Amino acid sequence: MPLLLNGIGMLSFICSACAYLMTDMVRLRMLAIASGTLGLVYNATLPSGPLWLVLFWLALFWIINASRLTTALRGEMEVALSPDDRALMVETFPTMHSRDWLRLRREAEVTEFSDGETMLDFGAETDAVSVVARGEAAETRSTGEVYRRTPSAMWGELSYVTRQQFSGSPCKIVARRHVQVLSWDYAKLDALTRRNSRMRAALMEGFVRTAALKHGLLAADGDAPRAGGTEVALDAHRAATARLAIARGD
């Protein structure tokens, strides 16, 4: 019995030492819980009697680690989204976790625009990232080119990333059909991503994709978008990506 008890005590310390070597927080918590459980058994079954003060602190640490592990595991689990919500998420921020999207969606300011209403004018400064959630708009560039902006179209992202307004908006965006826009001011995005590196990485990836698309570096079927007096659907390839993701159940 003493040999078994000493083995339990040694194993508890080994688990604690291994926990300090972990860089993954889930594994660290699991080892800490294992160490705490073995420590509780050891200190509760000593021949000289239980060490109640030690047991109290071990139990407290066990509860803390168990609650944090539960929170971490829950945060990694995907949540159910409506088909429209999932399509918008995949089109706009393809690598974003569904829990982060729900949080982002809840914090969005929702604005409705009627047909013909100006959503963004030439030279206007932006203080928020805006995404078309529903409807259709026409974007006119300073060169006279006209682009069709559909759900997932975005503006204000470059000013957010670079913290520069440059010379204001290089385009004018007018609602063509009833349009719903989701917006997040820059301060709110900073607050949301300050302690959430996963969300920040997904946002930046989406911003880069959108910027590349706008400047003709990324387009459907591998062709750079061309205007030449005709309208170009900038988001066709992202819509196809969304349909594929929904079909797969991603």
pLDDT (tens digit, 9 = 90+) per residue, 154-165?
A: 998 988 988 887
Query: Number of folded domains in the chain?
Result: 2
Residue 145 and residue 191 in one domain: yes
Q: Are 234 and 145 within 8 A, CB to CB? A: no
pLDDT at position 243, please?
A: 47
CA dist list (Å): 244 to 9, 151, 152, 217, 248: 53, 16, 16, 22, 6
Residue 42 and residue 135 in one domain: no
Handedness of CA 246, 199, 218, 155 (dihedral sign): positive
Residue 72 and residue 179 in one domain: no
Model pLDDT for residues 23-38, shown as the tens digit of each residue: 888 889 999 999 999 9
Write the CATH number for 111. Answer: 2.60.120.10
Residue 66 and residue 144 in one domain: no
Q: Is 113 helix (H, G, I), strand (E, B) or coil?
A: strand
Question: Parallel, antiparallel, or unpaired: how do β-strands 171-175 and 146-149 relate?
Answer: unpaired
Domain stop point among 49, 76, 103? 76
Q: How far is C-alpha 151 from the geometric centre of its chain's CA atoms? A: 18
Compute the average pLDDT of residues 2-28: 85
Domain stop point among 76, 98, 113? 76
Domain stop point among 17, 48, 76? 76
Measured distance CA(214)–CA(225) in Å, rounded? 8
Instruction: For the chain, give the percent of residues with pLDDT over 90.
Output: 38
pLDDT at position 147, please?
A: 86
Residue 144 and residue 189 in one domain: yes
pLDDT over 70 at 230, yes or no: no
For residue 27, what are the domain limits? 2-76
Residue 173 and residue 212 in one domain: yes
Residue 25 and residue 58 in one domain: yes
Q: Between 97 and 233, name the one with better pLDDT.
A: 97
Measured distance CA(119)–CA(224) in Å, rounded? 26
Measured distance CA(97)–CA(75) in Å, rounded? 9
Q: Which residues pair with 27 in a beta bridge?
A: none
Residue 51 and residue 104 in one domain: no
Q: Are 45 and 64 within 8 A, CB to CB? A: no
Residue 87 and residue 69 in one domain: no
Model pLDDT for residues 150-205, shown as the tens digit of each residue: 898 999 898 898 888 777 888 899 998 889 999 999 999 999 999 899 999 999 99
Measured distance CA(227)–CA(130) in Å, rounded? 23
Residue 171 and residue 215 in one domain: yes
pLDDT at position 227, please?
A: 39
Model pLDDT for residues 100-137, shown as the tens digit of each residue: 999 999 999 999 999 999 999 988 888 999 999 999 99
Q: Per-residue confidence at 217, pLDDT binned at 50, 70, 90?
A: low
pLDDT at position 1, please?
A: 63
Measured distance CA(137)–CA(181) in Å, rounded? 11
